[in-house]
Structure 1
Amino acid sequence: MFMDKKIKKNKDHHNSAFGGIETKELFMVYRDNRDIEIRNELINRHMYITEILAKKFINKGIDYEDIYQVASLGLIYAIERFDVDKGFEFSSFATPTIIGEIKKYFRDKGWSVRVPRRIQELSKKINLAKAKLQQDLQRIPKVSDIAEYLNVTEEEVIEAMEASQVYTPKSLDVTYDSSGDDKDIQLQDIIGKDDKYFDTIENRDFISMCMKKLNEVEIKIVNDRFFENKTQIQVADELNVSQMTVSRMEKKIIKKFRKELNKLNEI
C-alpha cells in the first residue's frame, strides 16, 4: 500500500499554481510532459470519486483505510491511462478502473468477510489435519478425529469449517434449479442489484459533456424544461418566441444528446 499523505490530506484543496486551469487543459499538458506536480493536482481534483467508491465497500471484511488506499491507487492508474482526446469525462473512465482495483484487492486478500484470526488459523490447521488423517486412517476423517488430533473441541472444528466457506465466495454465475420453470435462476438474480451511484456519476458526466456543446439558448431550454420543470409555453414567453419554436429546438437538442450517446457506445 502506498499513497502520498500530502495528497490525501489535501484532497479537497487545489494547488494554487493550477487553480485557474481547467481540468481538461491539465490532462492535455500532462499527456505531453508527464509532470508529477500536474499529476498530483489531477489526483487532488478527483479524490471525491475515490471516496464515493471506497465507501461502497465499507463493512465487507476489509478496513476502509485499506480500501481507500487501493481506490486511490486505482485513481492514479486511471489518470495515467486516460485519453483526453476521446471526448468523454474523466470520472466515467476512472470509475470502472477504480472498482476493478478494489475488487482485485478483495480477491487477493482472501477472506471475503472479517473472520477472527483464531478461526482463520484453526481453519488452516484443519485442512492440514484432514490431509494427514485421511492418509493415516485410509478414510475421510470425522470431526471427532480432527478435534482429537488438534486437541480442540468438536464445536471449534465445526465453527472453523463453517467459517472457511467464506474464504472462497460463490460465483454470482452459480445456477440454481428453478423447480419446474423454463429458466434456471442465477445467484446474481437473487442477491444482485444495480448500484445507483455508478449510473449517477456517468449520467452527470454525460450531461455535463453535452451541455458544453450547446449555445446559451439551448442551455436555458434544457435547464428550464428538464431541471426546472417549466412548460414549453413558459419557456417560449421568457425567450419571446413561439411555443412551436421551443418544441423544435427541444427536439434538436435531444437529437444532439442521442448522437453523443451513440458516440460513447461505440467506444
Structure 2
Amino acid sequence: MTTTTVETVERSTGLPDIGDPSKVAPKDARELSRLFFDRLSKLEEGTPDYQYARNTLIEMNMSLVRFAAARFRSRGPEEMEDIVQVGMIGLIKAIDRFELTREVEFTSFSVPYIVGEMKRFFRDTSWAVHVPRRLQEARMQLARATEELSTRLGRTPTTKELSELMNLPEDEVVEARLASNGYNSSSLDAAINGSEDGESALADFIGADDTALSLVEDFHALAPMISELDERDRQIIHWRFVDELTQKEIGERLGVSQMHVSRLISRLLARLREGMLTES
C-alpha cells in the first residue's frame, strides 16, 4: 500500500486509523478490507471499535457502488443519486454477511448484492414488465388522444378514430393499448373479488419453480462425503451451516479459539470442494 494514498495511525485494536476512507484507492481498499474483515470477526458487535471497522469498510468500498452505478449513467442526475443510495444498501448487506472463510474476494461477493438492490429499485419504480421504447412513447400519445377524443365525442373513441388522430396503423394503437397494461401491476397478495372464501389472493393460483430442485444433485453428491468425516467435523459443519452459529459460538462449544474454528472450517470446505470437483 502506498503512503501517498492513505495515511494511517495504529489504533488500540491494531487497526490503522484511516483519515478519509472514501479516498482510499481501490487496489489498497482490497488489501485493507481483508485486514478489517479479519478484525471485525473478532470484535464484539456494538462496541466503538466494531463500529469503526464496519463504517470504515463501508466508506472504503463505496467505489464498488459507483462502479456498479456507472452502467446507468444515461439516467438523470436525480435518479443516479437514488441509484447510488440503494446501491449503498446492497454494500452494507454484503459487508454484514461476508466472511473471509468464504475464500472469495469481497468485490466478487458484494457486487451481486449492490446490483440486486439497484434492480429492485428499478422493478419497484419502473414499468411492471419490459416494454419497447416506441410502445412506451405510443402509450403517452394514446393517453392524450383518448382524452381529446373522449371530450370531443362524448364517448370512448374507437381504435380507428384513435388511429386517424395519432397517425398510426390500427395494430400499433392496439399494441400501445396493451403496453399500457404493463405500466401498473397488481400485488400478488391482493384479494380476488368473488373468491369463495373471500380471502384468496392471486398468488394462490400461480405456480412457481422450486429453486431447491437444482440443489438435489449436489446434496446427493455431498452426503457421502460428509458421512466420511469424523464426528467433530460433522458437528462443526452442522453448527455452522444448519444451526448458523458464529465462529465465536462454535469456538466456545469446542473450547478453542475463533481463529482455530476459522482454520477448521476452511480445511473442511476445501476437502468437500475437492471431493465435489472430483465427483463431477
TM-score, normalisation: structure 1: 0.48
TM-score, normalisation: structure 2: 0.46
